[in-house]
Structure 1
Amino acid sequence: ISFKKLKIELPYDPAIALLGIYPKDTDVVKRRAICTPMFIAALSTIAKSWKEPRCPSTGDWIKKMWSIYTMEYYSAIKKNDFTTFAATWTALEEIMLSEISEAEKDNYRMVSLIYGT
């Protein structure tokens, strides 16, 4: 799939996230700990369904993000660096909540309150 065929203009080369090179004049540097795992999740999801011209379902995205979350969680425990892990995922949660409606936010907060997540 070519981004030109889809008429999508990317602000940066997608390889930037994988190489760890970020422009200094943007706030991307602040969010690279969040953007790189999400980019890898998107890349993995796209690679799996390369021959299927469809958008991944919400369930597919949740499964992929959960697997990344789990890997990073155990990595943080092994490195004894849980604060960085928590900060990254809290920031991701804030970004995701900023993108959804108020009704969805209320639903999310209720589930978080009930299940203690």
Structure 2
Amino acid sequence: MVLLSRYQTPAALRHLGRGRLTPWIRTAGPASTELANAAVDAAERQHTRLPGEVTIARVIGDLAVELLSLHEKIHELDKLVEARLREHELAPVISSMPGIGSLLGAEFLPEDERDRRQ
């Protein structure tokens, strides 16, 4: 998604090149070098331009940015759920059950009167 948020077409990847793409995409994680190499290799094999490529590339870039944003929001919500579970007096008991993570554990918490009023 990080790659698609910025570079969507083979021409853009060829123009950027392996040398500049690899350092830029390192923020994506440990497999970034392999991803950069695979993307540039694929771009070097494709030289056909399709009608509407620029428009579709823009749409793909926008969608990738939205997905990255949603992923971050989900991560933040997971942290909030986990924090809420840890605050509860029953958290040690619930968390001690095999296979119970923070999301499922939070489902076991009794509904708080304050939550119903909000």
TM-score (norm 2): 0.28
Structure with the bigger percentage of helix: 2
Structure exhibiting the larger radius of gyration computed from Cα positions: 2
Higher relative contact order (CA 8 A, sep 6+): 2
